[in-house]
């Protein structure tokens, strides 16, 4: 009997599924924070430059994510229905498609990076550093596309610790590389932003090698790469059915963030730097909701695949309660420690004061964000992917962006006004997502024509 037929189903425990995802996401965030923290010793302007480049890179990550998200849901539903062979074929198609897509987007960033930065109204004093980071990290972003796809696949198979271990390894490599290029020990040349970009890219290349090894080790003989060209086109359609709406939602978010970042550039470089520092700290609050949302998506996908809809319904609501409670508690801790946390990054008193005000109102913002991170993941896992993107475009682009300009620029409330716009957006969308889940309309939104036990093994 092939190993494909003897794979054990993943244990449907939120804690067992989620804690490795939490560690993995935290380490990916730490990689970005390590860049920011280390560069803060080099120059505040360098931090702002990398922050601008990362806004564009986040859009690229979103574009890679739509195939990875689709793969996660379709593989989970296939495994839930015991269609093990189909799950492996979907995985192969997802990896191949995202590699090709990644190469295309990497080329576009390499050729037109400076043009994109100009459209963002990048200050002249930041342009060279921002472009240097963008062209190096963005030019090799196809590596991240493949890592994301394989990570989503092995998590759906239940091997969440593998993705976590790769994140640990990449993070350590990145920090060691940053130490060399920023602090210049042993006579190593100090390269600043360019060096951090090289360090990030090299650590990702090595991480790719490791995660490919783990993929082959965990599911040998299951991934039919040789038969890629003969796989049914329906698999790609299934991936896109979930992935494209998910990408639309994330793209709406990233687009709104770029527009709002443009508003912040009107407030000056200090405001832009403050935003980067505040967001780096806030990431450690909402990573709890992100990890719970991703873990819940895997579980709900399996339950939907096996037609256990009532369990799927209660799983989402239970996860939401956990996410809201934890995010509120963590936001409160961060608010009480705001100035001390910001002083880790900078000694500029104006930046610390402005950043602290943003972290205070985060206590209201983060519980609202939990709705979107958890419930949208569950809707997506159930196949109801279009509603979140529609509401996302309306709220993020139609409400958040104009409200941010009105409060932040017109009413001269600055960053605090912009953060209030974020709060309105997150809570409005979140409550709409909760209504959608409770309506149970998602039970009629099947991704695959799956019958439990009809295994194609």
pLDDT of 52-86, one tens digit each?
Answer: 787 788 778 777 877 888 888 888 888 877 787 88
Give the pLDDT band (50/70/90) at residue 5: very low
**Tokens read off for 388:** 């979140």
> Which of 171-175, 306-310, 363-367 has the largest mean confidence?
363-367
Compute the C-alpha angle 150/151/153, nearest 5°.
65
Q: What is the pLDDT of residue 451?
A: 42
**Mean of per-residue pLDDT scores for the chain:** 84
**Tokens read off for 368:** 């609202």
Residue 217 has pLDDT above 70, yes or no: yes
Residue whose C-alpha is closest to residue 13's, from 24, 21, 23? 21
Top-confidence residue, 296 or 234: 296
Q: What is the pLDDT of residue 446?
A: 61
In the chain, the largest separation of any two C-alpha atoms, in whole Å, equals 69
Residue whose C-alpha is closest to residue 70's, from 84, 82, 83, 87? 87
Residue 354 has pLDDT above 80, yes or no: yes
Give the pLDDT band (50/70/90) at residue 258: confident
Burial of 432 (0-12, 13-18, 19+ CB in 10 A): buried
Q: What are 407-457's pLDDT values in tens digits?
A: 999 999 999 999 999 999 999 999 999 999 999 999 886 655 444 444 333
Q: What are 110-133's pLDDT values in tens digits?
A: 888 888 888 877 787 888 888 888
CB 156 within 8 A of CB 71: yes
Q: What is the pLDDT of residue 220?
A: 52
Q: Which of 22-36, 257-271, 364-378, 435-449 has the lowest mean pLDDT?
A: 22-36
Q: Which of 33-37, 185-189, 366-370 has the lowest mean pLDDT?
A: 33-37
Instruction: State pTM to two decimals.
Output: 0.75
C-beta neighbour count of 319 within 10 angstroms = 26
**Please, what's the b/e burial string for 216-254 (b: 16 or more CB within 10 A of its CB; e: otherwise)?**
eebbeebbeeeeeeebeeebbebbebbbbbbbbbbbbbb
Q: What are 33-55's pLDDT values in tens digits?
A: 666 667 776 777 777 787 778 77
Where in the chain are the domains? 9-444
Q: What is the pLDDT of residue 63?
A: 77
Give the pLDDT band (50/70/90) at residue 29: low
Query: d(Cα 438, Cα 60) in Å, to the nearest integer?
Result: 33
C-beta neighbour count of 130 within 10 angstroms = 28
Give the pLDDT band (50/70/90) at residue 317: very high
Its sign, for the CA torsion 99, 100, 104, 105, is negative
C-beta neighbour count of 312 within 10 angstroms = 25
Compute the C-alpha angle 397/133/194, nearest 5°.
160
Its sign, for the CA torsion 222, 228, 231, 236, is positive
**Tokens read off for 26:** 């935290």
Mean pLDDT across 298-310:
88
Give the pLDDT band (50/70/90) at residue 3: very low
Q: What is the pLDDT of residue 54?
A: 79
Residue 319 has pLDDT above 50, yes or no: yes
Residue 302 has pLDDT above 70, yes or no: yes
CB 150 within 8 A of CB 204: no
Interacting residues of 134 by C-beta distance below 8 A, sequence separation 6+: 53, 56, 57, 109, 113, 116, 117
Give the pLDDT band (50/70/90) at residue 15: confident
């Amino acid at each position: 009997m092939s190993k494909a037929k003897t794979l054990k189903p993943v244990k449907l425990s939120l804690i067992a599924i989620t804690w490795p995802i939490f560690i993995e996401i935290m380490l990916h965030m730490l990689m970005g924070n390590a860049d920011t923290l280390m560069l803060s010793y080099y120059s505040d302007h360098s931090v702002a430059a990398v922050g601008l480049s990362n806004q564009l890179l986040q859009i690229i990550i979103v574009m890679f994510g739509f195939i990875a998200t689709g793969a996660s849901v379709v593989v989970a539903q296939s495994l839930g229905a015991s269609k093990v062979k189909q799950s492996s074929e979907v995985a192969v198609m997802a990896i191949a498609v995202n590699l090709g897509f990644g190469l295309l987007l990497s080329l576009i960033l390499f050729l037109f990076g400076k043009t994109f930065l100009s459209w963002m109204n990048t200050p002249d004093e930041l342009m060279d550093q921002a472009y240097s980071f963008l062209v190096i990290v963005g030019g090799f972003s196809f590596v991240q596309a493949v890592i994301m796809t394989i990570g989503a696949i092995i998590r759906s198979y239940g091997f969440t610790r593998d993705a976590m271990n790769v994140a640990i390894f990449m993070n350590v490599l990145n920090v060691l590389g940053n130490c060399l290029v920023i602090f210049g020990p042993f006579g190593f040349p100090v390269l600043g932003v360019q060096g951090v970009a090289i360090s990030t890219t090299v650590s990702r290349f090595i991480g790719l090698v490791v995660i490919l090894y783990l993929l082959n080790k965990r599911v040998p003989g299951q991934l039919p790469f040789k038969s890629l060209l003969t796989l049914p086109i329906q698999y790609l359609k299934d991936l896109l059915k979930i992935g494209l709406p998910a990408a639309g939602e994330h793209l709406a978010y990233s687009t709104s963030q770029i527009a709002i970042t443009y508003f912040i550039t009107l407030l000056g470089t200090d405001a832009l730097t403050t935003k980067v520092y505040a967001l780096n700290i806030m990431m450690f609050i909402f990573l709890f909701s992100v990890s719970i949302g991703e873990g819940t998506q895997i579980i709900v996908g399996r339950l939907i695949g096996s037609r256990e809809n009532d369990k799927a319904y209660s799983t989402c609501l239970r996860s939401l309660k956990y996410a809201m409670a934890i995010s509120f508690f963590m936001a409160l801790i961060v608010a009480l420690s705001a100035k001390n946390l910001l002083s880790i990054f900078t000694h500029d008193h104006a930046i610390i004061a402005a950043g602290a005000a943003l972290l205070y109102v985060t206590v209201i913002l983060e519980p609202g964000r939990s709705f979107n991170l958890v419930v949208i993941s569950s809707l997506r896992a159930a196949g109801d992917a279009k509603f979140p993107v529609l509401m996302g475009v309306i709220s993020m682009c139609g409400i958040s962006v104009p409200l941010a300009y009105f409060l932040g620029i017109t009413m001269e409330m600055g960053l605090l006004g912009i953060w209030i716009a974020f709060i309105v957006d997150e809570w409005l969308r979140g409550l709409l997502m909760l209504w959608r889940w409770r309506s149970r309309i998602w039970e009629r939104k099947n991704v695959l024509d799956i019958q439990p036990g009809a295994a194609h093994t």
